[in-house]
Amino acid sequence: MHLRRSQNMSLPRIVIVDYGTGNLNSVKRTLDRLRVTCVVSPHARDIADADKIILPGVGHFGRAMLRLKELGLVDALNEAVLDRRTPILGICLGMEVMAKASEEGDTPGLGWLDAEAVRFKISDTGRYKVPHMGWNEVRIKKDSRLMAGVSELSEFYFAHSYHLRINDPSDLLNETEYEAPFPSAVEKGNVFGVQYHPEKSHDAGSQVLKNFIEM
């Protein structure tokens, strides 16, 4: 069933993209608690009609990209994000697929970011485990509406084995330390991505989602 436009045209149309990855319902439940009207959809038409797009995801990079192609969503996302400049927020795997490529599979990513997803390379395996799971601090590296009201060194919840290696430092929004620093959020124009899970990160995470919806 396709998303219908609200009778109140002042309400933004929020689409959570369903491409067969995990964590969709957690994101929707958090938005429901924030009293944000949203729809989970695998349909290109709904993406075309969206005012804001959320691309969540827990899973395998290569399989996620293949599923996006099978559903006909790659062209729909490119048109929305690159042509119409629709704001999009990628969460965890949803941020990683915005890169050009990943060490997890040989399928190209969406290519919106000059970046690659790489697996953690840990030296002190007694102290740092892969996947990186649990709470960790983020440093805010530039001004952004996405981080309004979020304090420096706020803690967010992480669950991932891969992270982005970005080639354009201006895209870096948050940085987190896990033996070495890695990008935990990016921003490039209307493209936003967070490696952490705001839907599982209590007040700080809810604030990030609220900021995105209210842009």
Query: At 109, which amino acid appears?
Result: G
For the question of residue 202 being annotated catalytic, the response is no
Q: Are 186 and 140 in contact (CB under 8 A)?
A: no
92 annotated active-site: yes
Catalytic one among 38, 43, 92, 96? 92
Q: What is the DSSP letter of 196?
A: S
Catalytic residue among 96, 104, 187, 199: 199
Residues paired with residue 187 on neighbouring β-strands, in sequence order:
192
Catalytic residue among 43, 160, 163, 197: 197
Amino acid letter, residue 181: P
Question: CA distances (Å), 68 to each of 4, 20, 24, 43, 71, in order?
Answer: 22, 9, 15, 10, 5
Q: Rounded to whole angstroms, how far apart are CA atoms 165 and 17?
A: 24
Q: How far is CA 100 from CA 6, 123, 187, in A?
A: 35, 26, 15
Residue 38 annotated as catalytic: no
Q: Are 89 and 53 in contact (CB under 8 A)?
A: yes
Instruction: Report the catalytic residues.
Output: 92, 197, 199
